[in-house]
Structure 1
C-alpha cells in the first residue's frame, strides 16, 4: 500500500495545525474542515493525528491500524503537500489525553511557534471531563469547528472558558504561540462518522462522503457491516 508522507520534517516557526480524531472512517467532511481551518489560520502544515481510542468514548468500528490505513489513503488521494500523517498518539500507551499530546508537540516545536489544535464543536459537551482541559490554551490555540446540526448549548464552565479566551481575528493567532479559542464555521457538508458507519452497515448510499480508495478499503475489509455501538464523529 502506498503511504502518505509522515510528519517527521523540520518544524518551522510558522503556524502548525493539529487535527486529531478517531477518523472512523475519515470522510470528506474531515477534508473540508481541514481545508477551511488551514485557510483561515494560514497554517503552514496540517498534521493529522488518529487516536487509538478515547477514555471517554466507546470502542471504534475499525481497528487503529485500519483507521490509520484509511487516513493514509485519504491523504494520498487529497495530495495536499502540506498535510502530514502522524502516529504521535498511535505510538503512545493508552489512555491518550489531549493535554499530553499538546505537551509533546510544544516541546517538539519550541515555545515560540504558533500551534493550533482543531476539535469539533460536539467535543465541547464533554470537555469538562478531559484531563486538565482548562490548561489546553497554555499550550496551543483551540479551533472549534462547527457543522450543521450541532447544538451549541455547552456547560456553563465551558462557556466561561470560551468567553475568557475567545478571539475572532484569526490573523492574531499567527503572532501568538498559544492562548486563544477561535470558532470555525465549516462548509455545510453535514457528515458524521457515526451516520456514515450506520449507512454502510445498512447498505445505504453514502453519496460522495468517501474518497474512492477509502471506500474500496472499507469494502475489501468488510468494515462496519456488523451491528456496532456508535462511537465518535
Structure 2
C-alpha cells in the first residue's frame, strides 16, 4: 500500500514541476487535474469521516430519535407510510440499523413518539401564569399541535392518527400512576383521554380548522363550569371558570 502512494506523490510533483516551468503538455494538464481531484476527494472523505465521528460522539439518544422521526416525516411527504422501508429511513436520517432498533421497534412507534414529543412540549412550554383559565390552557395546547400542522395532516392522511391515542395513554395514564387505583378512580382519566382524542380527530378531519383560538373557545364552552381537564393537569392550572 505504501509504494503506490509514493509513486502517486512523485508523479504529482513531476507534473507540477513541468506546469510551473511552462513545459507541461496537454496530457500533463489532464493528469495533474485528475491527481488533484483524487487528492481533494480523499481530503473530503477524511473530513466527512471526522465530522461523522464527532457527530456520533456528541449525539444523544434523544437527538438520534429526532433524526429518525424527521427522516420518516420527510419520506411520508412523498410516499405512503406502508411503502417506506427501514433502510430508507436510516439512510435519510444518517444512522445505521442498529441505532434505529435501539430506539424503535417499529415504524408506528416513531409516529407515536412524535405525538409524545408534542404532548411533552405542551407541558414544558406552558405559560407560568397562576390565573391561567381553561380556555387559555386549551388554546396553548392547540397552538402547539397546530405548529406541526403539515406533519400531523400527513400522518392523518396515512390513517395513523390512532397512534395519538396510544401516545395519550402512554404519556398520561402511565405518568399519573393509575395502576393501583380502582375502576371508579381511573374512569375519569380514561374518559377524558378518549374525549380529547376524538376532538383532535375531528379537528384533523377538518384540516385543522378552525384556528386554535376559536377551537379553544368552543371547547371551553362545552365543558362544565369550573371544569378542569383531568388529562392535562399542570400545577399552575386553576379551576377558575372561563373568563368572558
**Fold shared, TM-score > 0.5 on shorter chain:** no
Structure with higher RCO (Cα < 8 A, 6+ apart): 1
Query: What's the TM-score once normalised by structure 2's chain length?
Result: 0.27
- Greater share of residues in strand: 1
Query: What's the TM-score once normalised by structure 1's chain length?
Result: 0.28
- Greater share of residues in helix: 2
Q: Which has the larger radius of gyration?
A: 2
